[in-house]
Every structure is written in structure tokens, then in C-alpha cells.
Amino acid sequence: MLEIFLTIFLGFILLVLFYSFWGRRRRNGEPPLIKGWIPFLGKALEFRENSQQFLTQLQKEHGDFFTVLIAGRYITFIMNPLLYPSVIKHGKQLDFHKFSDSAASRTFGYTPMSSGHFPGMSDRIQRTYTLLQGPALDSLTHSMMANLQHVLRHHFLFTENSGLWEKAELYEFCKSVMFQSTFNTLYGHLSYLHLDELREDFEKFDNFFPLLMARVPICFLGNTKAIREKLQRFFYPQRMAEWKSPCDFIQDRMSIFQQYDALQDRDKAAHHFAMLWASVGNTIPAAFWCLYHLMSCPEALAAVREEIMNVIGEKNMRSILQEDIVITRQQLEQMVYLESSVNESLRLSSVSMNIRMVQEDFCLRLDAQNSIGLRKDDIIALYPQSTHLDPEIYDEPQRFQFDRFVEDGKEKTDFYKCGQKVRYYRMPFGSGATQCPGRFFALNELKQFVCVTLLMCEMQLMDNQHEVSLDNSRAGLGIMPPANPIPFRFRKTLGGTEREE
């Protein structure tokens, strides 16, 4: 027994020695290299534990750029937002789509688009993204407005007893409202669709999402594979054909998939499932933070409520519990304090990492003083959370300040670091050519969600509850969800008239 143990131990020591002598070495002109002493894993554990703290510490020791070994990949982090433009501009040598195609196909279970079987499909899919923006956004906004009101009215119906407070949990509330209204807006309606069950499975899958993205094989993750198959089955073409009035964006995707014989029904379904994840995976936690911050800050809540009322008028306010009202895209645009509150919520909760894959060995010029050597297949990463929490750019960065992005009644866009204007000061949706194509829809949805909720009910956080904490396991992957339950109470508004306690 002891012998076996000793052999393993010695083997391990040899591996570590081998690795530290013959593993990758820093070359001239390359950024500082941090690879830790554990072969392959490198600094993966420290990164997962608290990436923001870990990276800030490395920035203090090594400067604004450095390369870290994380789970078999060499990732070069650029930590200073003043250096972001050179990375964002370099589309040719720094590619995003290869990485996202391989990560997404593995995670959601479809054949990679770059596999050569589907010529032109990736480009055609990229073109459908215009159907989430511009003129197409009008009809999406219209449909979302109706769906939100329908779902929320249904939610509040059981509180027939209007004067009374009801208790609920805030994240659960946001999940159920946003999941259903977003689903109906994008994929359409069908009376016997069991969306509660779909959402349950979606959440089970989503819990393992960070591990899948970290390239843990799905067979190690319990019944995740079976759950993913069930989720995919939901989107089989013959089922989707029966859904009423899906949006143009989803219809376009269906007809593109139809034209590729090499694409099996399983693959088509997996693509639709991936889009479901993209459309609600981040929007739901974002909706939570918007409401949570507003409820925690009476001054913000009052200002935003007043702005909403001014824009939509008293008549709409009175009738919303009885009949659908319309809030147009133009009206939403006028709500600048609401928009600033949403953006401020995203600033505080976004932990997305912007990733580019290096296509060839080359030297990247960062600014007048700095260039760095990069190797083919390495990854270059921007970590916007460090910018979002930079005290030089944002005064008291940890504090929610609802009007942070408003100045003289208009959007404020000048933020400074070292006396220089920062161009990329807030980037929850990524950057450059690879920015999230759903960002305009997402922002509208979040504003609509806050509007309709505040118009239909009064909400309060329960007294003396725990401060909310963040679920760190999702570092690098979008919007962080809350880690603990947040109880709150709500009651129907009386058509906008103020009520005595």
C-alpha cells in the first residue's frame, strides 16, 4: 500500500519538476508568465475562487498585462481599459467566433458550425441578428409588453384581496416572470406548452453551465446529459411547427436550418435551445438586480417611479391592472433615469470575460509604449469587471448610484482614468464586432419589466434580512445571480392612488 502511495507521490514530484523545467517559458517581448506549480491546472483554482481579487492582485505585481495558465490554456489578460481599443480593433488576428463555436457546440450539444458540413451557415446566422435590432425591435417591444402584462397580471390575480401584502422570494419572482414572457415573445405561444417544467430543467442545466464551459466532459456531471437531451427534445422541428407566432428572428433561424440537409433534427433543436439560454440566461439575473437595487434605495425608486408616470400618463397608470396598455419604444427611450438604473445594475453584476483567440504568432501594439508578443492558439481576455469596479473611473464603485449615467437630463458618457477619457467604461455586452446582438432587446426588456412591475404593484424588501451576496461560481460568464434568497412583499397598486399605511 505504502509502496503504491510512494510511487504515485514520486511520479507527481517528477511531473512537477519536468513541468517547471521543460514547460512553457516566457520569451523575449512576451508578457509576464504566471503558471503556478500544478501542471495543466495552473492557477485555475485561485481564478475560480475569486477571479476579480486574483486578477487585481496579479495586476499589482506584474502590471497591466500578463499571461496566466488556467486549466490548460494560456490566457493573456489586458487589465487597463485604456489599452482595450487595440485588442478590440484587431479583428483579423484575434478571432472570437472560433472560440464561441467550439465552446457553445460542446456545451449545448450541436455539431460545430465550422466542421465543414454546413457551408455558409454561420454567416447566415450572423445576418439574422439584425432581426433583434433596428426596426424589428419595435414589434419585439410591442409583443414583450403584451406578454409581460399577461404574465404579471396572472401572477397578481391570486391576490384578489388587494389591500393585503403577499410574501415572495425576489429571484424566484424574476425567474418566473422573465422566463415566460421572453419565451413567448421569441418562440411564440401554445396552450399546452409546459413552461414551468421547461424552466425547471433549464435551471438544472444552468447550474452545470460553468463546468461545461470549463470543458468538464458532460458524462462526469450526473444526469446533466439526460436533462440536456430533454431540453433539446422540447425544440424538435415538428413540435416548433405548431407554436403560434414566433418572432421573425426565430422564424428565420428555423428556415435557415431547414435548408441544410446535413443538419439533423437533434442539431436544429440544440441550436434553438442554445438561443433560449442566450436570451434568458443573463436577462433573468439582470432583472433581479434592477429590482433589488431600486427596492434597496428609496430615492432611486421614487425618481424612477416618477419618471415612468410622467412618460406614460395617469390614464395608463390607472388602467394597467384591468387592460393592456402600450409603452412604445420611443417612450422607453425617454426614461433616462430608468435606463441609467438598469445600466448601473449591469455595471455592478456583470462578470463577463471578453475572449479572443490568437490566430497566428504576432506582436500586438497596445499603445505608444507597449507591445506584447502573442502565440497562436493562446487566448487574450478583457475582464471588464475590473474596469466596472475601478475607483479611478467610478467614485465609490461598490455603491449603487441610480443616476450615475445621467448628466443634465441626458446620458453621461465621459469617464476618466489617469486624466484620459475612457472609451470602454461599461461593457456587460462584450465589445467590438462580437458584442451581444440581443443587447438592445435585453435593455428594452429590462426597462419594460421594471415599468410594468412598478405600475402593477408596490414592493418592499423585508426588514432586517441578510445583505445579498453574489454567486462567484459564474465568474467570466455574464451576469452573476444572487447566492442567497431575498424575501420581499408586494401588493397590488390601487390604480396609482397613494394609500395610507
Site residues (CB under 6 A) for ligand NAG?
Answer: 336, 339-340, 343, 405, 411, 429, 439, 443
CB-based contact 402:450 (threshold 8 Å): no
Phi then psi for 339, rounded to 5 degrees? Answer: -65, -40
Give the bridge partners for 459, in sequence order.
490
Helix-then-strand count for the chain, H and E: 20, 15
436 is a site residue for ligand HEM (CB under 6 A): yes
34, 69, 121, 132: residue in contact with ligand HEM (rule CB under 6 A): 132
Q: Nearest approach, Cβ of 281 to ligand HEM (angstroms)? A: 8
* Choice between 185 and 340, CB closer to ligand NAG: 340
State the residue number with the nearest CB to ligand NAG.
405
36, 188, 438, 476: residue in contact with ligand HEM (rule CB under 6 A): 438
Q: Nearest approach, Cβ of 421 to ligand NAG (angstroms)? A: 16
How many chain residues bind ligand HEM (CB under 6 A)? 23
CA dist 325 and 146 (Å) reads 8
* Choice between 31 and 430, CB closer to ligand HEM: 430
Q: Nearest approach, Cβ of 431 to ligand NAG (angstroms)? A: 10
Q: Nearest approach, Cβ of 442 to ligand HEM (angstroms)? A: 4
Q: Tell me the three-class secondary structure of 306-362, residue by residue.
A: HHHHHHHCHHHHHHCCCCCCCCCHHHHHHCHHHHHHHHHHHHHHECECEEEEECCCE
144 binding partner (options ligand NAG, ligand HEM, none; Cβ < 5 to 8 Å by kind): none
Phi then psi for 308, rounded to 5 degrees? Answer: -60, -45
340 binding partner (options ligand NAG, ligand HEM, none; Cβ < 5 to 8 Å by kind): ligand NAG
Which residues does the annotation place in the binding site for heme? 436
Q: Helices marked H in 109-135 — which ranges?
A: 121-128
387 binding partner (options ligand HEM, ligand NAG, none; Cβ < 5 to 8 Å by kind): none
405 binding partner (options ligand HEM, ligand NAG, none; Cβ < 5 to 8 Å by kind): ligand NAG
Q: Nearest approach, Cβ of 401 to ligand NAG (angstroms)? A: 12
**Ramachandran assignment for 120, one of left (phi > 0), alpha (psi -120 to 50 degrees), beta (any other):** left
354 binding partner (options ligand HEM, ligand NAG, none; Cβ < 5 to 8 Å by kind): ligand HEM
Contacting residues for 414 by C-beta, under 8 A, at least 6 apart: 421
CA dist 187 and 243 (Å) reads 7
State the residue number with the nearest CB to ligand HEM.
438
Q: Nearest approach, Cβ of 435 to ligand NAG (angstroms)? A: 9
CA dist 478 and 428 (Å) reads 7
Footprint of ligand HEM on residues 160-179 (CB under 6 A)?
none
Footprint of ligand HEM on residues 387-416 (CB under 6 A)?
none
* Choice between 188 and 478, CB closer to ligand NAG: 478
- Cβ neighbourhood burial of 362 (10 Å; 0-12, 13-18, 19+): middle
Instruction: Quickly tell me which residue has 432583472 as its cell.
Output: 287
Contacting residues for 359 by C-beta, under 8 A, at least 6 apart: 92, 93, 94, 95, 376
Which residues does the annotation place in the binding site for substrate? 106, 282
411 binding partner (options ligand NAG, ligand HEM, none; Cβ < 5 to 8 Å by kind): ligand NAG
107, 180, 354, 493: residue in contact with ligand HEM (rule CB under 6 A): 354
33: enclosing H helix or E strand:
strand 33-34
CA dist 482 and 171 (Å) reads 8
Footprint of ligand HEM on residues 275-304 (CB under 6 A)?
278-279, 282-283, 286
336 binding partner (options ligand HEM, ligand NAG, none; Cβ < 5 to 8 Å by kind): ligand NAG
- Angle (nearest 5°) at CA 242 between 128 and 148: 70
Q: Nearest approach, Cβ of 208 to ligand HEM (angstroms)? A: 19
Contacting residues for 268 by C-beta, under 8 A, at least 6 apart: 235, 236, 237, 254, 257
Footprint of ligand HEM on residues 466-485 (CB under 6 A)?
478-479
By C-alpha distance, which of 418, 381, 400, 295 is closest to 341? 400
36, 81, 430, 476: residue in contact with ligand HEM (rule CB under 6 A): 430
CA dist 245 and 461 (Å) reads 37
Which residues does the annotation place in the binding site? 106, 282, 436
* Choice between 282 and 343, CB closer to ligand NAG: 343
CB-based contact 293:300 (threshold 8 Å): yes
* Choice between 358 and 479, CB closer to ligand HEM: 479
Site string (442-461) toward ligand HEM, x via CB under 6 A: x-------------------
Q: Nearest approach, Cβ of 405 to ligand NAG (angstroms)? A: 3
* Strands in 43-175 per DSSP E: 65-70, 73-78, 94-95, 166-169
* Choice between 100 and 435, CB closer to ligand NAG: 435
176: three-class secondary structure by DSSP = helix
Q: Nearest approach, Cβ of 29 to ligand HEM (angstroms)? A: 27
Q: Nearest approach, Cβ of 341 to ligand NAG (angstroms)? A: 9
Residues that bind ligand HEM (CB under 6 A): 96, 100, 132, 278-279, 282-283, 286, 352, 354, 428-431, 434-438, 441-442, 478-479
